[in-house]
């Protein structure tokens, strides 16, 4: 997941006050401890895995990077939600990545994008 909108995703949307929610299934390849990252986050976002909040950055801020504590996940499908809120500036961006002891940090890519 790697989005950068300038000034906004659609001309019909206000430049400085809008939100989006992505949902889907995350295929976890093996039992392991996973760390999740928001990079280039501008303004506010939350990450949920299986209904549990993993990263809570709902307060607006400058472009920043955040990471979760490592969490144990079992191999298979896990429900994922990302909530994003653009508040202040006309530029909006978010990147979601993950890593584990068995692989380096990489962007979580969508297999099927239904936008």
pLDDT tens, 55-105?
998 877 666 788 999 999 999 999 999 998 887 766 778 889 999 999 999
Whether the CB-CB separation of 86 and 99 falls below 8 Å is answered with no
Measured in whole angstroms, the distance separating CA 29 from the mean position of its chain's CA atoms is: 19
Structure tokens, 39? 């990079």
Share of the chain above pLDDT 70, in %: 88
Residue 54 located in a structural domain: yes
Count of beta carbons in the 10 Å neighbourhood of residue 69: 9
Residue 71 located in a structural domain: no
Cβ neighbours of residue 91 closer than 8 Å, sequence gap 6 or more: 4, 5, 6, 7, 42
10-54 residue pLDDT tens: 777 777 777 889 999 999 999 999 999 998 877 789 999 999 999
Residue 75 located in a structural domain: no
Structure tokens, 80? 């994922």
Residue 113 located in a structural domain: no
Count of structural domains within the chain: 1
d(CA 38, CA 49) in angstroms, rounded, equals 14
Count of beta carbons in the 10 Å neighbourhood of residue 58: 12
Beta bridge partners of 12: none
Residue 76 located in a structural domain: no
Q: What pTM value is reported for the model? A: 0.86
Enclosing domain of residue 12: 2-23+33-65+81-107
Residue 38 located in a structural domain: yes
pLDDT at 36: 98
């Amino acid at each position: 997941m790697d989005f950068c909108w300038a000034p906004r995703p659609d001309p019909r949307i206000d430049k400085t006050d809008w939100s989006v929610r992505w949902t889907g299934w995350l295929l976890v390849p093996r039992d392991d401890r996973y760390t999740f990252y928001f990079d280039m986050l501008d303004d506010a976002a939350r990450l949920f895995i299986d209904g549990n909040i993993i990263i809570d950055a709902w307060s607006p801020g400058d472009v920043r990077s955040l990471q979760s504590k490592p969490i144990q996940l079992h191999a298979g499908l896990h429900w994922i939600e990302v909530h994003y809120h653009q508040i202040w500036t006309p530029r909006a961006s978010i990147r979601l990545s993950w890593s584990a002891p068995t692989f380096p940090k990489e962007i979580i890519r969508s297999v099927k994008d239904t936008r």
